[in-house]
Amino acid sequence: METIIGLAVGTGLSAACGFRVFVPLLGLGVAALSGYLTLSQGFQWLGTWPAVIAFATATVLEICAYYVPWVDNMLDALMTPAAVAAGTISTASMMGDVSPFLKWSAAIIAGGGISAIVQGGTVALRAKSSAATGGMTNSMVSTVELAGSTLLTVCAIVIPVICLIIVLLICGFMIRKMANSPGIKSFFTRKNE
């Protein structure tokens, strides 16, 4: 049961990493530092003061940078691999006492995969916002992403099973939206000429 709860916490944090990379890591660090969460072997460093200070600094910088027009679009390209890595680490840190194969398989597939799906959806949303309004509404997109990351982080730590259900719904919605985008449809359909 502990492994399932750990996986639920980890995947919730991974989804939050898809919205903002450092907010969930900061939440994870604070929860571990306060003794609310127990990190698996080899990940205790996430719950130390130096790590929490580093995550807090990175969180502030990331939040501020996403409110600068056009910088936010460049950040999406840089943050996509970082979000996948942070999602993988978040899930692995919560997996507890399981075999390394199971831990890293779940971390890469569930953690990294969920983070990539959410990040892909946010990148697509920001691109549409930039194209439609010249970036004028990107600050609203950034605010929604920050709220989503913060809420998912708290939810993953406090009510992980419910958070897992929410994450699955978010991922289903984003996959459906991405699958219905014109670029994806044209890639998978053949035109008879």
In order, the DSSP letters of the chain are: -HHHHHHHHHHHHHHHHHH-SHHHHHHHHHHHHTTSS-PPTT-GGGGSHHHHHHHHHHHHHHHHHTTSTTHHHHHHHHHHHHHHHHHHHHHHHH--SS-HHHHHHHIIIIIIHHHHHHHHHHHHHHHHHHHHHTTTTHHHHHHHHHHHHHHHHHHHHHSHHHHHHHHHHHHHHHHHHHHTSHHHHHHHS----
Across residues 18-47, what is the average pLDDT?
A: 95
pLDDT tens for each residue of 149-185: 999 999 999 999 999 999 999 888 888 877 776 666 6
- Does the pTM surpass 0.75? The reply is yes
Higher pLDDT, 128 or 1: 128
Predicted pLDDT at 184? 60
Predicted pLDDT at 133? 82
Q: Which long-range contacts (CB under 8 A, 24 or more apart) does 26-31 make?
A: 26/52, 26/55, 26/56, 26/58, 26/59, 26/153, 27/150, 27/153, 27/154, 27/156, 27/157, 28/90, 28/93, 28/153, 28/157, 29/55, 31/157
Predicted pLDDT at 74? 85
Across residues 121-149, what is the average pLDDT?
A: 86
Predicted pLDDT at 182? 64
The pLDDT of residue 135 is above 80? no
The pLDDT of residue 94 is above 90? yes
The pLDDT of residue 1 is above 80? no
